[in-house]
Structure 1
Amino acid sequence: MSESKIIIRDNLKESYQDVYTPEVLAALEVMADLNIEVKHLMDVRMRRRLERREKQKRIGFLDPETFIPGTQIKVKDAREGNFEGAVIPEDLKRQWIQGTGPGAKPNAPLENSIRNVAYALLSGADGWMFDGEDALGQIGTMSLDNQRNLKLAINRSPVFLKVAEEVAAQMNSWSQSFFGEGKIKDWRSQLDFTTKIFRARGLHLDDRHIRESNGNSFSASIADLTLYVTNNHQALAAAGASVVLYLPKIQTAEEAALWNKMITTLEQHLGLQEGTVKVYVLVEQLEATYQLMEIRAALGRHFVGFNTGRWDYINSVSDAMAWDMDFVNPNIESIGMTYGYMRNYEDRVRRAVNTPDINGNFALWQGGMEPNIPVGSEEGVDSSMKKAVAGAEREQKEGASGKWVAHWKMVHIVRPVWERVGEANQTGRKFPLLTYTQEDADGLILLEEAPRTIRGARNLISVALQYGNAFGQGMQAAALKPADFFGDDDVLYLMEDMATGEIRLSILWEWVHKAAVLTEDDMAAGIKKGNVFSLTLFNKLLEEEYGKLLKSSNKDVYDSSKTTTLPIAKAIAEVYVTEPTKAPWFIDLLNINLDNMDLGKAKERIGLYLRTLKERNQRITENLDFQVTS
């Protein structure tokens, strides 16, 4: 018997033998050979980022006469639709509302943890993206709990059915009070309504539980893809359901081609027809917007659609333009989907999905996230729900076939926007073909005048600290708002994930290192319009906002976190914003401190990360608490 290519830490192979089944372990052995290719492309990504900074280089379009790396498809052919794409399966043709969220809770027993899946599948959403990435906490074994819960739910285990019945009663009770009727008529049949979708972690992340046998870290993308598809493809097929993934953080068509290779390799190993696994791509990276048709072509028969998110995308624009002293974002509240570069990004996506492939197949466009939750004062809820519906109406009119919501309570509030129109989707709507001019390129980094204020800075700092703290507690998705609005029920908590903390620190980094000019007076802070946002000012506001969190109630900031994960979150935020060399990912610094409550150790790890970044242009992405000894 040959030696295994991978090592699973501690006794997890035994305690999660329902997840690490013999079939999964065999598939991981096959997929392990692709780990080196993931690492290579992540090195290429970092070199590209460094080159942009050193040469002050903007992202541009690919040469149409070249081949997409990793494929035999010419860029020109991809743009003209001369490639074979996917036929959209029946259970994806109508996706008016997709909910998003993790399928597990931190430090929770099974019957409590799996309630997340029950809420999702009883919500009435057309699809639910069970998150393995930005919304799923990673402390302990949460990534494995997530896989376990999804497998139990997809296979209709007794424990899941028991929980689902209880959850249905609770959901109907809320629905009765809010809508005047229970929305779940038959909870068992309701479980079959929602298409199950899984978001794997991005290529930039490593798994916390698996290493190569030589000690090298192991791609989280390979781990998530292999575990989810291997464990669930048979049960999904038996139910007549598709195997569907969301792929995050793709920057280039070359990376999409690697995902295609990974998926095809797994399909071949499992004896599945190529194209069995269907994928949406989250357009979360500026560079990807320059290569949309190339990404579609590279994923071929697997690709079904794009999603236009907000937070990750804004962060990628900020990071890609970090070298440009003239590129300074305004308050985050001003950067909606109709703002400058966001408007142009959305327009390119809708044009890309409505360009037919060689067989006349179009793709889907799923709109962005609605983070509101209908919990608060009557006036606050009414105002926020009107905004949520108006946002959905705008996306529907622009051509989206549906959108996301972050909480099950929002499904029946937003879904009627598409329900009233009645069309399953909007594929094939006529939009101008994509063009690749300098004007197009410039539009993707277009800034427009908008406020840049002390109030905006406080919001950026407060929310970033809270998300860093929530991450350390095992909640990458959390309902939060700036500390100044704690106790104000007219201002609703927004249900968002870690990306919203990421972009807030990116904008603060811009403001500090590019001498951002403030646009309004703030007498309380001693600031006048035209003053520069200095490092001294940032440090002052950081201390003030941190102090508010320390004094807040347990409802808003867990008391137990105030001496553990919150100080670490502050240390990370401070270093991220003040360091001249911008770290590529806030989440990197959080990941290397998972399950660590010691501030001294955290500072050592932060220092190690920054030295590695500066000296070798490399990130630290491995689990530092899992080392292989010879």
Structure 2
Amino acid sequence: MSEKSIIIRNNLYQEYQDVYTDEVLSALEIMAPFNAEVKKLMEVRLRRRQERRQKQKRIDFLDPSTNIPGTSIKVEDARSGKFEGTPIPKDLQRQWVQGTGPGAKPNAPLESSIRNVAYALLSGADGWMFDGEDALGQTGTMSLDNQRNLKLAIHREPVFLTVAEQVAAQMNSWSKGFFGEEKIREYKSQLDFTTVIFRARGLHLDDRHLRMKDGASFSASIADLALYVTNNYQALREKGSSIVLYLPKIQTAEEAALWNKIISHLEKHLGLEEGEVKVYVLVEQLEATYQLMEIRAALGKHFVGYNTGRWDYINSVSDAMAWDPSFINPNIESIGMTYGYMRNYEDRVRRAVNTADKLGNFALWQGGMEPNIPVGSEEGVSNSMNKAISGAEREQREGASGKWVAHWKMVHIIRPVWEKKGEANQLGRKFPPLTYSAEDAAGLILLEKAPRTIRGARNLLSVGLQYGNAFGQGMQAAALKPADFFGDDDVLYLMEDMATGEIRLSILWEWLHKGAEITEDDSETGLVQGDTFTEKVFDKLLKEEYDKLLNANNKDVYNASKDTTLPIARKIVDVYVKEDIKIPWFIDLLNINLNNTDLKIAEDRINLYVKKLKEKGERVTENLDFTL
């Protein structure tokens, strides 16, 4: 590999030759020049963020008379649909329920790890987004295990089929007890029901196993795109399946244009037609909501739809408004999809997808995540499932063509909401065209009165700590709930991923640095309505919630983590919430401590990150354990 421009760390080339095939290595080489462009755009992103803070500047709409950066498309043409998209492929026209989750498990042998893929493809979901980002652990070689498992499943290799048969029997046993009937009639035909979708890592992340020969870290987005598409495009085409990606964390149409260029370059290299790779875009960033039509236009023939994810989006609003002392979120439980800025965000997305391009093509809107899992007391499950169904019914009424679920057990609970309507999708449903007024801009940061309580702060802290701990253990998707509800089966565990951990700390950062006032008396702390959330209050709650985790049983907090990854999670929470300059990404502090259980090393790495951010305005994103 020495003559190549990309270095694979350690002996992973030998261990993962089925993933790092000659065809993949060739694709990586031809895409390597884009690495510098990704880095440049991430520098631009950070500068915009710094400028907002320094100039106390709000995000606004683009000038309609200008071109979308990185394209020859005028902003005003994008907004009016004067760009070329493509019709929705047949296997994406009905996506009533999409499941989400990783295709691998941490520290698990292949036969156990690949069960994740079997559960997904036997679930009855119309599509399954196999996550390479927020829900996929990155300890060890999990990103490569994810790619390997997907390749084995898509190619229907014997090891996968053997596991799938076993998993089908177990799923039927559960569904017979829960629904009164088996849901899987014949497992091999059931495997072909679900469209495989892959979520690549965002442009802000670097791969842990690849590096440029000159020492530069390598874009995780390019790595994921090259490995997934190159390894699977032929098998997917032969089965008549679309090659579909979810693209996360896009903030601007310029970033979408770069994605478009990279994808088109890979398509040309592999002999695919332009636009054969299809993409959904997760609208997870406030800035993207100001540029929805521009993003659609920039992705052109690749674009099929948007997804309205709740957690990342809330965090992005908090982050974009970190400079404004008057912008303070309430308890996380109050920020649903009908709350203030969330309501306006969702409305802009549905209007954007139902604006036709110049050939009359509309796009899809996939609703947000249902994090509930039907495991708990009879009353707890009943209440939570009724709430989940109501949420799905609301999104269907509002125009969504489908919804996400975070666990396979939720598929047949949510699916009937769309089955009753019987329509494949809601493409082209009539909504008012998008407008770009000052009132529209203000609506995207609209706060509404809601509780801000010590109970809410405890919930934020407890789950934030637990999430950081789970991440260090290799589980970026974990079933969690606040420590005060451990043992209470009426309160269900929710599937939490990176975004849900991050927003909890962002809200705590707001409360501390903006002097949030508590809206209710709290007998445990003695605080009363109108008291300020201070560092003293934060420290008290942090100690108490941390102690609860130390004293929790192994089911809720692994005993082995209590003197390894949990203390590191506490340190990260403490630094993230207390730093005056808000750290751009919670995941940054977690990533630089992957595979590390030494608190002193963690403290040194965290200090390095903070120092570089403050002195140079740069993030530390590379794998600090990278060895040649």
Q: Equivalent residue for 1:401?
A: 401
Equivalent-residue separation in structure 2 for 1:28 and 1:22 (angstroms):
10
CA distance in 2 between partners of 1:8 and 1:227 (Å): 13
Kept in 2, the 8 Å contact 1:115–1:164? The answer is: yes
| 1:80-479 superposed matches below 5 A | 80-479=80-479
Q: What amino acid maps onto 1:397 in structure 2? A: R
Using structure 1 for the length normalisation, give the TM-score: 0.99
- Distance between the aligned counterparts of 2:575 and 2:86, measured in 1? 45
Partner of 2:491: 491
Alignment check: 8 A CA contact 1:215 1:627 kept: no
Is the 8 Å Cα contact of residues 478 and 495 (structure 2) preserved in structure 1?
yes
Q: 1-side partners of 2:2 and 2:502: how far apart?
A: 43
Deviation, structure 1 residue 439 = 0.1
CA distance in 1, matches of 2:387, 2:547: 32
SS of aligned partner of 2:197: strand
TM superposition shift of 1:496: 2.0
1:111 and 1:536 map into 2 onto residues whose CA distance is 49
Rounded to whole Å, the distance in 1 between the matches of 2:164 and 2:523 is 53
Q: Does 1:535 find its partner at 2:548? A: no
Match of 2:480 in 1: 480
Counterpart Cα distance in 2 of 1:192 and 1:354:
30
Deviation per CA, 1:546-605, whole angstroms, max 9, x where unpaired? Answer: 000000000000000000000000000000001111100010000000000000000000
Deviation at 1:15, TM superposition (A): 0.4
Instruction: Give CA-to-partner distance per residue, 1:466-507, whole Å, 9 cap, x none.
Output: 000000000000000000000000000001211100000000
Letter paired with 2:472: G
Task: Give the match's secondary structure for 2:221.
Answer: helix
Structure 1 segments (4+ residues) deviating >2 Å: none
| 1:86 CA drift (Å) | 2.1
Secondary structure in 2 matching 1:69: coil
Structure 1 residue 348, shift from structure 2 partner? 0.1
Task: Give me the whole-angstrom Cα distance separating, in 1, the residues matched to 2:325 and 2:171.
Answer: 50
Find the aligned partners of 1:3 and 1:495 in 2 and give their Cα distance. 44
Q: Does the residue aligned with 1:417 lie in a helix, a strand or coil?
A: helix
Amino acid at match of 1:160: F
Q: Distance in 1 between matches of 2:566 and 2:263?
A: 39
Give 5+ residue unaligned stretches, structure 1.
none
- Are the equivalent residues in 2 in contact too, given 1:461–1:542 (CA < 8 A)? yes
Q: Which amino acid aligns with 1:99?
A: G
- Corresponding letter in the other structure for 2:299: L
Secondary structure at 1:563's aligned position in 2? Answer: coil
Superimposed CA distance per residue, residues 364-415 of structure 1 (whole angstroms, 9 cap, x where no aligned partner): 0000000000000000000000000000000000000000000000000000
Pair 1:53-2:69 in alignment: no
Question: Whole-Å Cα distance in 1 between the matches of residues 21 and 330 of structure 2?
Answer: 50
Question: How far, CA to CA, are the matches of 1:72 and 1:440 in structure 2?
Answer: 26
Residue deviations 1:285-308 (CA, integer Å, cap 9, x gap): 000000000000000000000000
Report the residue type matching 2:518 in the other structure.
L
Task: State the Cα distance separating 1:73 from its structure 2 match.
Answer: 0.2
Residue 126 of structure 1 deviates from its aligned partner by 0.2
- Deviation string for 1:250-290 (max 9, x for gaps)? 00000000000010000000011000100000000000000
**Is the CA contact 1:68–1:254 (under 8 Å) kept in the aligned structure 2?**
yes
CA distance in 2: counterparts of 1:31 and 1:391, whole angstroms: 41
- Shift of residue 2, structure 1, vs aligned partner: 9.3
Unpaired segments of 5 or more residues in structure 2?
none
Letter in 1 for 2:325: M
User: Helix, strand or coil: the match of 2:218?
Assistant: strand
Distance 1:209 1:556 in 2: 31
Separation in 1, partners of 2:299, 2:466: 37
Distance 1:397 1:141 in 2: 42
The alignment-based identity, stated in percent, is: 79
Q: Distance in 2 between matches of 1:232 and 1:157?
A: 13
SS at match of 2:32: helix
Give me the whole-angstrom Cα distance separating, in 1, the residues matched to 2:146 and 2:492: 28
Which amino acid is 1:81 matched to? G
**Residue identity matched to 2:444:** L
- 8 Å Cα contact 2:100/2:404 also seen in 1: yes
Shift of 1:426: 0.2
Q: Counterpart of 2:574 in 1: which secondary structure?
A: helix
> Using the alignment, how far apart are the partners of 1:618 and 1:335 within structure 2?
31
Deviations 1:492-546 (A, max 9, x none): 0001211100000000000000000000000111110000000110010000000
Deviations 1:143-193 (A, max 9, x none): 000000000000000000000000000000000000000000111100000
> Which amino acid in structure 2 is aligned with residue 166 of structure 1?
Q
Equivalence for 2:596:
596
Q: Secondary structure at the match of 1:124?
A: coil
8 Å contact 2:10–2:627 — kept in the other structure? no
Paired residue for 2:573? Answer: 573
Paired amino acid for 1:385: M
Q: Distance in 2 between matches of 1:84 and 1:235?
A: 28
Paired letter, 1:232:
N
C-alpha separation between the residues in 2 aligned to 1:612 and 1:87?
46
Aligned length: 628
Mean CA deviation greater in 274-283 or 492-501 = 492-501
User: Which amino acid in structure 2 is aligned with residue 508 of structure 1?
Assistant: L
Tell me if structure 1 keeps the 8 A contact 2:467–2:496.
no
CA contact under 8 A between 2:334 and 2:451: conserved in structure 1? Answer: yes
The DSSP-based 3-state class of the residue aligned with 2:279 is strand
**1:49-107 residue CA offsets vs partner (Å, 9 max, x unmatched):** 00000000000000000000111100000000000012100000000000000000000
CA shift, 1:443, in A, is 0.1
Partner-residue secondary structure (3-state), 1:449: coil
Q: In structure 2, what is the Cα distance between the partners aligned to 1:581 and 1:549?
A: 28
Once residues 227 and 197 of structure 1 are traced to their aligned partners in structure 2, the CA distance between those partners, rounded to angstroms, is: 14
Return closer, same or farther for 1:215/1:627 CA change in 2, 3 Å cut-off.
Answer: farther
**The residue matched to 1:614 in structure 2 has which SS?**
helix
Counterpart-to-counterpart distance in 1, 2:290 and 2:535: 34
Secondary structure class of the residue paired with 1:209: strand
Q: Distance in 1 between matches of 2:2 and 2:579?
A: 47
Instruction: Report the Cα distance in structure 2 between the residues aligned to 1:561 and 1:3, rounded to whole angstroms.
Output: 42
The answer as to whether partners of 2:352 and 2:434 remain within 8 angstroms in 1 is yes
Question: Contact (CA 8 Å) 1:252, 1:287: kept in 2 or not?
Answer: yes
**Alignment-mate amino acid for residue 516 of structure 1:** A
Q: Which amino acid in the other structure matches residue 146 of structure 1?
A: N
Aligned-partner residue type, residue 313 of structure 1: Y
Q: Is the 8 A contact 1:137 1:471 kept in 2?
A: yes
1:3 Cα deviation (Å)?
Answer: 2.5
Superposition deviation, residue 627 in structure 1: 4.6
Separation of aligned partners in 2, 1:74 and 1:171: 51
Q: Which amino acid aligns with 1:422?
A: G
Does the CA-based 8 Å contact 2:589-2:606 persist in structure 1? yes
Q: Whole-Å Cα distance in 2 between the matches of residues 294 and 14 of structure 1?
A: 43
Q: 3-state SS of the aligned residue for 1:367?
A: strand
Please report the TM-score for the alignment, with normalisation by the length of structure 2.
1.00
Whole-angstrom CA distance in 2 between matches of 1:113 and 1:626: 25
